[in-house]
Each structure stands twice: as C-alpha cells, then as structure tokens.
Amino acid sequence: MNYILISPYYPGNFQSFAHRLKDAGVNVLGIGEEPYDQLGSELQNALTEYYRVNNLENVDEVKRAVAFLFYKHGPIDRIESNNEYWLELDAQLREQFNVYGNKTNDLKKVKYKSEMKKLFKKADVPVVDGRIVKTKKELSKAIDELGLPVIAKPDNGVGSAATFKLSSEEAVRHFEEEWGEAQVYFLEPYVEGGVLCTFDGLVDQKGNIVFQTSFTYNVPTLELVKGQLDLAYVIQKEIDPKLETYGKAIVKAFGMKERFFHIEFFKIETGDYVALEYNNRLAGGYTIDMYNFAYSIDLFAQYASLVTGGEFKESDAENQFCVGVTQRDAYEYKHDTNAIYERFGDRVKFEQRMPDAFAELQGNQFYAINADSHEEVDDIIRFVHERKNSSIANV
C-alpha cells in the first residue's frame, strides 16, 4: 500500500501517523515544506521517500510531487494529512489521481456551517437557526430576525478564526468595518450559559464508529481567545447517553468513512444539547494524545490497522479522565512544572510547550494529567491555574 502523508513533520505529535503506518507494513511517502534534514532520523526512517515542495499552498507544485511519487512507486492508495488546514488540498489531490477518500464535492457538507445545519436537522438533532449573510443589508435583516447577541462565523472557516460575538449595535458596526463584505458569513443566536463539549471518534471503511469519546471545555473557545483565559478541557470517562445518541445520528447523516470526526455541541441549561459544527478530522493540539492517555490506547496504531484492512482493538484497561490544562506566559502562576509533578506524580502523562500556532488559543505550557474522579479533575485545574495573585486567578 502506498500512502502519501501531506505535511508529515507538522504538527509534531502527528508524526506518529507515519511511524505506525510503517509498522503496519505501509509504504509511507511524505510531501512537505521542511528540508529533509529537519525531519529528524525517526521520521526519516518512517518515510520511504520524502518530496520537499517550496509551498504546500501551491497546488500545482504539490500535484507534480504526487505525480513523481506515482511514477516512482506505483498507484497511490491514500492521500491524507488528518489536518483541517489541508483538507481541501487532500481532496483535490485525491480527485486528480483517483485515490480513495473524500473528493472536493464531498467537502461541502463539512466545510460550510450552513450545510452542516441541514444535516444536523436531517439527523433530528437540535440546532439553533442561522442565516447566511453576504451583504450589510442581509446582515441587518438577519440581526432583526435573530436578535442580539449573535455569533458571526465565516460560512467556510477553520476553528474560531475570524469569529465575532455581536452583543450591541457598536459591536455590529465594528464587525461591518472588519468584514467589508469580503466573505460569506453565517450568523446564529448566541447560546447563553452553554457548556462547550464534543462527540469525537473514528469510523472504519464501512462508516461504522469503532472509537468514540467526548471532552468538555471550561470556557467556550471564543471567550478563551478574546479574554486570553486559562484553558482546561477534560476527556470524559463516560459519554452522556443523550450526547452519544445525537453524535451517532450525526455521524450516520454525514456518511464519512475511514476518518476521524470531531463534533462540537453546546450543553444547555435544560440538560439538552445543541449541535454546532461537524469537523471531518481530529480535534487539534494534543487531544489525540489525551485520548490515548485516558483510554490506554494507541489511536495512531489503530488508525493504521483500519487503513490496512485490519480491526480496531479496544483496550482492556479501565477508562480515566484526562485533563488538558495550560498556563500562559503572560501570567504568574503559583505552581511551576516541578511543583505540578511533585503534586500529581505519574498522573502527569505529558507536558510540552505549545507550538506558536496554538498558543494564542490554548496557552503556552500544556499538561495532560489523568484523574479517576470529578473531584480529582477539579483539583488538577485549580492547582495548575492558581496564580500568585490569587484574586485574579481564572479557574
């Protein structure tokens, strides 16, 4: 099997895809921007061949790279990055070279917020009604119909980038100046008091869910970025049955195969859920590592098994919580890395400086710490986030 991995070097924790694919007997071929020497010996050894391009944004250049690898190694069986930023590039390449997986037309339902809403409704999952706006006149009409506050997101956008919370007429005017009708936006009512949570997992080649999990944020991502707040999110030991029912219905409606998925919800005050977004890829940052720590599993290896026609093997170990918690360089905290290890010992599974690309959203120093109970989860978050000036601590 010939598997082209787009951007095998970045992000660093995704390099394990190359290692596990090779372990499964796959011929792994890399295309990326980094010089070969920068890859390091472990990644170099996992790749049968690496083709460096000057710019992955240059589709023609990347197509020439694929054509070369096709000529040298034979037909390509998979082209994948597992990275949201390159989903459209992946799809274009699959279409050009007739490779298994999502093509450009398949991405419409997972790239456009407005299209997602249609499938959420088809799955009979609660949503908040939204409006597409292309002009300031349409924006004004949408706000009249929906009322303030609303969330304004690019209809085709990645994560929380270029997202605005419009709570006042002044905020609307500011958004109009920033926007300038340069792209299509999607407006939906702001869900007051909603707790951001997810239904995540992996589907096999038949579209069956073989792995599922859920995590919950301490604050929504928009507030997290705007206020530069302290982040904590928690991989859950168990999934709320109602959330599981909604999540499975959505996965069925979207009909994806051999892919990770990451579906965002708000849990509202009534205890029900509102579907927000379907992401046709892994959650970002170190979340896949946290899945592995919480469930004593190696999802990189399990993914490689699925790709090669094998089965998914669940762990026999008991599930745990895994807390992803960060500190920001801008603040002074009471407890540094040494103190955190001293307090939590071998429950600290991972600590790492965050890449600059994730730091504004998530913070600068990341810890993944396992816990057995909600009380332990709360203790971890309090301890790591406690600041020297406790009156400004944000837990």
The DSSP secondary-structure symbol of 229 reads P
Answer yes or no: is pLDDT of 391 > 60. no
Mark whether 226 and 367 lie in a shared domain.
Answer: yes
Mark whether 318 and 227 lie in a shared domain.
Answer: yes
Mark whether 51 and 136 lie in a shared domain.
Answer: no
pLDDT, tens only, 31-87: 999 999 999 999 999 999 999 999 999 999 999 999 999 999 999 999 999 998 899
Domain assignment present for 75:
yes
Q: Which pLDDT belongs to residue 84?
A: 87
Mark whether 229 and 323 lie in a shared domain.
Answer: yes
For residue 154, give the CATH number of its domain: 3.30.1490.20
pTM, whole model, 2 decimals? 0.92
The domain containing residue 312 runs over which residues? 195-392
Residue type, 354: M
Mark whether 149 and 66 lie in a shared domain.
Answer: no
Closest CA to 218 of 372, 390, 363: 363
Q: CA dist 376 to 122, 169, 317, Å?
A: 39, 43, 19
Domain assignment present for 320:
yes
pLDDT, tens only, 251-282: 999 999 999 999 999 999 899 999 999 999 99
Q: Which pLDDT belongs to residue 394?
A: 47
Q: CA dist 318 to 57, 81, 83, 347, Å?
A: 43, 31, 29, 15
Determine how many CB atoms are found less than 10 A away from the CB of residue 107. Answer: 18
For residue 327, give the CATH number of its domain: 3.30.470.20
Mark whether 342 and 376 lie in a shared domain.
Answer: yes
Are the beta carbons of 274 and 191 closer than 8 angstroms? yes
Strands 232-235, 321-327: pairing is antiparallel
As for how many domains the chain has, the answer is 3
